[in-house]
Structure 1
Amino acid sequence: MVNTSAAPLLSRLTRRGRLMAKRTCDRRCHAFVLGGFLFRTPTAWEYAAAVAGGSDPAAQRWLGWLPDSVVAEPMRAEALRVVPGTGPEWTTPDPHSVDVVAIDLAARRCAGLVSVHAGEDGSPETGGYLAPGYRGRGRGRELFTAGLVLAHEHLGLTRVRAGAEIGNVASGRSLAAAGMRRAPGPARYTLPNGRVGEAWWYQHDVPWPHRCTGPQAKWLA
């Protein structure tokens, strides 16, 4: 899902930044609150923090990013200290993905990332991950529910799918808890690093989607 390195961003981190307090969508930003999280189009620094949150070995077991996309220590710890709301605007490097960062409103920390992106066959898929401190606490349901909100209430999609590697029980449970149902799909899929795994597939449909004023994915046009 995340296929660009955060390292160049981290090399430019300073204490100076532009406050981003948006909680509603506009032409540059998606924003919505769900549970204890604010989901928002990230600033460059928030995106770096989100990438760092998925760079640990436990997450990479399932995400399988390319090596230059994984943030190593000590930059990982530095990025995870980013204060949400700071940093310049961020333009996603992937034109086939719409990303929102999960911001813990109580702790004021970047807690993860969820996206709606083009799957291997070009159809819309959602996926995401949580930073280490937020796993195993039932927060995956909120994360994947946010993916459905982004797809159906912001991008105007009637259908969105998600894949989980067989054996990733936590991800499968979270997708089901968010309201997705098991669906047919390819038996195997390939991660960015080339590793091939067996997959479970999930799907969610709504009859009347909505498209907001936020940035739209060009690949969906």
Structure 2
Amino acid sequence: MSAQPLLSRLTRRGRLMAKRSCDRRGHAFAHGRFLFRTPTAWEYAAAVAGGSDPAAQRWLGWLPGSVVAEPMRAEAMRVVPGTGPEWTTPDPHSVDVVAIDLAAGRCAGLVSVHAGEDGGPETGGYLAPGYRGRGFGRELFAAGLVLAHGHLGLARVRAGAEVGNVASGRSLAAAGLRRVSGPPRYTLPDGRVCQAWWFQHDVPWPDRCEGPPASWLG
């Protein structure tokens, strides 16, 4: 292998790792411990792997084809942030950013703003094993609010949590969302119907960034 392709990849990685602002190709912002950024294809694979373990799937309920099984799960989670080709979201109704732990050099989770069952904007996310139970859920959901209010121009965003998912409910409240009324049930991707808690956050003056807009928001 010639030195030039290697240099090109290292330069690209350095540029991605240093990216801290939004442009037409993606969103990027720092919040708390993490850098939140539109992922590369490999970063997205690492983030999906981080939510594919049984403990996470107890609450996420993805379709079987979306869950990464071992040993591919462990391999994907070893992805070095800043590597991989550009990624195109498979869901046009969701804006996803991966949480990157720069100090550890790994992908720590994912948070999104997406269209809810009623078409209104919702935020949600998850953390990889090793980042759960350490108070990082607050940072994750607060980043979802930053994305919604400061980047996508949304004055209001909601979030749902399954009744009984106390850790998620506490993290949403700690991030500043308040409990509100809502549909008593919602359906997970795998078809499981759950009882729901609902949370909401409002700001009077939302803003849009230089990043790509969410086409489904109009």
TM-score by length of 2: 0.93
Q: Which residue in 1 is equivalent to 2:73? A: 76
What is the aligned counterpart of 1:43 among 40, 43, 65? 40
Q: Kindly indicate whether residue 157 of structure 2 is the aligned counterpart of residue 150 of structure 1.
A: no
Q: Kindly indicate whether residue 126 of structure 2 is the aligned counterpart of residue 129 of structure 1.
A: yes
Q: Distance in 1 between matches of 2:203 and 2:148?
A: 10
Q: What is the CA deviation profile of residues 68-112 of structure 1, one whole-angstrom value per residue up to 9, with x for unaligned ones? A: 000000000000000000000001000000000000121010000
Q: Distance in 2 between matches of 1:181 and 1:53?
A: 27
Q: Distance in 2 between matches of 1:29 and 1:195?
A: 33
Q: What is the CA deviation profile of residues 152-183 of structure 1, one whole-angstrom value per residue up to 9, with x for unaligned ones? A: 00000000000000000000000000000001
Q: Report the residue type matching 1:180 in the other structure.
A: L
Q: State the Cα distance separating 1:52 from its structure 2 match.
A: 0.1
Q: Which residue in 1 is equivalent to 2:4? A: none
Q: Kindly indicate whether residue 217 of structure 2 is the aligned counterpart of residue 216 of structure 1.
A: no
Q: Distance in 1 between matches of 2:156 and 2:165?
A: 23
Q: Which residue in 1 is equivalent to 2:63? A: 66
* Segments ≥4 residues shifted beyond 3 Å: none
Counterpart secondary structure, 2:130: helix
Q: Which residue in 2 is equivalent to 1:12? A: none
Larger radius of gyration: 2
Q: How does 1:86-97 map to 2 (within 5 A)?
A: 86-97=83-94
Q: Report the residue type matching 2:47 in the other structure.
A: A
Gaps of at least 5 residues in structure 2 are 1-8
Counterpart secondary structure, 1:132: coil
Residue identity (%): 85
Q: State the Cα distance separating 1:36 from its structure 2 match.
A: 1.0
Q: Kindly indicate whether residue 3 of structure 2 is the aligned counterpart of residue 31 of structure 1.
A: no
Q: Which structure has greater helix proportion?
A: 2
Q: Distance in 2 between matches of 1:184 and 1:217?
A: 26
Q: What is the CA deviation profile of residues 113-157 of structure 1, one whole-angstrom value per residue up to 9, with x for unaligned ones? A: 000000000000000000011000000000000000000000000
Q: Kindly indicate whether residue 165 of structure 2 is the aligned counterpart of residue 207 of structure 1.
A: no
Q: What is the CA deviation profile of residues 5-40 of structure 1, one whole-angstrom value per residue up to 9, with x for unaligned ones? A: xxxxxxxxxxx6841231110001100001110000
Q: Distance in 2 between matches of 1:129 and 1:204?
A: 19
Q: Which residue in 2 is equivalent to 1:140? A: 137
The root-mean-square deviation of aligned C-alpha atoms, in Å, is 0.8
Q: Kindly indicate whether residue 177 of structure 2 is the aligned counterpart of residue 180 of structure 1.
A: yes
Q: Which residue in 2 is equivalent to 1:105? A: 102
Counterpart secondary structure, 2:113: strand
Counterpart secondary structure, 1:60: helix
Q: Report the residue type matching 1:121 in the other structure.
A: D
Q: Kindly indicate whether residue 169 of structure 2 is the aligned counterpart of residue 196 of structure 1.
A: no
Q: Which residue in 2 is equivalent to 1:114? A: 111
Counterpart secondary structure, 2:42: helix
Q: How many residues align?
A: 206
Q: Distance in 1 between matches of 2:114 and 2:184?
A: 20
